[in-house]
Amino acid sequence: MCTAIRYQNSGHYFGRNLDLEYSYKEQVVITPRGRRFTLRSGGDFTTRYALIGMATVLCDYPLYYEAANEAGLAAAGLNLPGLARYFAPQEGKKNITPFEFLPWLLGQASDLSQARSMLEDLNLTDISFAPELPLSPLHFMISDRTGSLVVEQTEDGLHIYENPFDVLTNNPPFDFQQWNMRQYANLSAQNQPSRFGAGYPLNDYGVGLGAFGLPGDATGPSRFVRAAFHLANSRCDANTGHEVSQFFHILDSVSMLKGSTLTHEGKDDITLYSSCIDLDNGVFYYKTYNNSQVTAIRMDRVDLNSPNLFAYDLILEPQIKAGN
């Protein structure tokens, strides 16, 4: 289970919680400009824009979970088990495997308008990176400074949705999430006067009653509603540090606590890491389950015309600053 959000205040940010019961030794990875990728269904492309994001690197190939490019376009893949469907390569289509999708899109498109054009005639193919690495069933959120899209390929084909909520979670698919949000139109950050009926002395007894009914469980629809509510009502100073902190607070509201959610195999589904990408400045911030101190990796600290990937191991153990 995962949650991705786009957040704007004085700056623009994109990121996610990665909720899993195991790690793939992910790293923060920068892919420079001019890197050539060979596509599994034929042809190749060269990155016009440098990328920064979280990835597992295998055979010098960045398998990105989420990333943003230097132009400010970002994307993330989130789990959609049982519903995501990939097809064999089809003639006349842009045949892209799910693991190629992020570098293919972010390496070449600068904004949502260009992304929409690239998504025309897209076919997500059923070709895995390696036999021992089966494809994950994913749908995708794509964002820039102006808004967000959702891309889902299911049994009946490819669907592209405008995403006014700037949130994506997991099952059910996005069209259900949009419909489900209507049930929570009455929620408010402020207490509301009683509408129960005349003659009943139903005065409030504390703050927060305007959001009574905001779901608190770990399911995809509940996390979607909760993240959207906090995004819609966020207040923050126009300060990069405060905005990054606010972004992580929003993700914390939908994070997974060890022991509270178990997989069918009895393993702990936890938030392995939370990420926040500053789309204006190309900075990747993250924290991990046991290390709540935020770490920043900057694109402008490396040679973005280098032929090599830049990969940074995550700081997993607690980093506690002494106060005396």
Amino acid found at 226: R
The closest of 204, 275, 290, 199 to 244, measured between CA atoms, is 275
Question: E strand or H helix at 66, and its extent?
Answer: strand 61-69
Give the Cα separation of 61 and 38 in Å (integer): 10
Q: Residues 1, 79: contact at Cβ < 8 Å? A: yes
Q: How far is CA 298 from CA 4, 53, 268, 306, 311, in A?
A: 21, 11, 32, 15, 12
Find all residues with CB under 8 Å of 262, minimum gap 6, and list them.
268, 269
**Which tokens hold the place of 106?**
């972010």
Centroid of chain to Cα 80: 13
The reply to whether 2 belongs to the active site is yes
- Which is nearest to 234 in space by CA: 62, 134, 226? 226
**How many residues belong to the chain?**
324
Residues 6+ apart with CB under 8 A from 163: 141, 147, 148, 149, 150, 174
Task: Identify the H or E element spanning 243.
Answer: helix 240-252
Could you say which of 2, 59, 236, 276 is catalytic? 2
> Active-site residue numbers?
2
